[in-house]
Structure 1
Amino acid sequence: MSENDWFVMRPQKAQAYGRPEGDGFLVRKDSTAMRDGSASVKRDREERDRLVRQGILVPDSDPDLYRFSRDHLFPSASMAGGVVKDGNCSGPQTWRCSKDGKTLKELP
């Protein structure tokens, strides 16, 4: 699969690549996630903390970021985005196609 077949999300310093897969949303290995994102309520913080405990999210060389140590399948694009952003997220409106910039929501 080429770079153009992936969706990208860039909240603050983080940069993550993902795509719909089966019944979920796959985030690619080496994508980064914010350690401490928005100050608001974080519905996906528990999932993010679980991924840290499991070694799926590991400290990045940038102290503001975590890095995905392997591909990870989330149940939804919104949960994937919430973990990457460290804040609440609408995945269909946030993940953008690498080649044309369209959101998941804009695609057929």
Structure 2
Amino acid sequence: MSENDWFVMRPQKAQAYGRPVGDGFLVRKGSTAMREGSPRVKRDREERDRLVRQGVLVPDTDPDLYRFSRDHLFGSSSVAGGIVKDGNCSGPQSWRRPTDRKTIKEVFR
């Protein structure tokens, strides 16, 4: 798998890598997620808290972040982005390919 197959999302201090797969959106081990994102509305907060309880998201050395302890498959890029951002997210418009900065939406038109 090439680095070009991965998309990146960088909300605030977090940096996560993910890619569309057949049955969802895979976020790569080592990616980080915000513990407390800026939006007040957090539709994915219950899912995020479940991932913390399951050990998928663990405390990072930076107290503002969680780190993915393993690859994790989400149902969509929007849910994955909401977890990374700790707020509502449009995944197709938020995840970008590092090589050319194109969004998932632009790449998969």
The TM-score, its normalising length taken from structure 1, stands at: 0.97
Where 2:11 maps in the other structure, the secondary structure is coil
Partners of 1:99 and 1:63 in 2: CA distance = 30
Residue in 2 aligned with 1:49? 49
Residue in 2 aligned with 1:74? 74
Residue in 2 aligned with 1:62? 62
Residue in 1 aligned with 2:31? 31
Task: Kindly report the root-mean-square deviation, in angstroms, between the aligned alpha carbons of the 2 structures.
Answer: 0.8
5+ long unaligned stretches in structure 2? none
Q: Which runs of 4+ in 1 moved over 4 A?
A: none
Where 2:46 maps in the other structure, the secondary structure is helix
Where 1:87 maps in the other structure, the secondary structure is coil
Instruction: Say whether residues 1:19 and 2:19 are aligned partners.
Output: yes
* Superposed displacement of residue 2, structure 1: 2.5
Partners of 2:75 and 2:23 in 1: CA distance = 7
5+ long unaligned stretches in structure 1? none
The answer (yes or no) to whether the contact 2:39–2:88 under 8 Å persists in 1 is no
The answer (yes or no) to whether the contact 1:33–1:86 under 8 Å persists in 2 is yes
Structure 1, residues 22-64: CA drift from partner, whole Å, max 9, x if none?
1200000000000000232100000000000000000000000
- % identical equivalent positions: 82
Structure 1, residues 67-90: CA drift from partner, whole Å, max 9, x if none?
000000000000000000000000
Distance 1:2 1:46, change over 3 A: same
Where 1:97 maps in the other structure, the secondary structure is coil
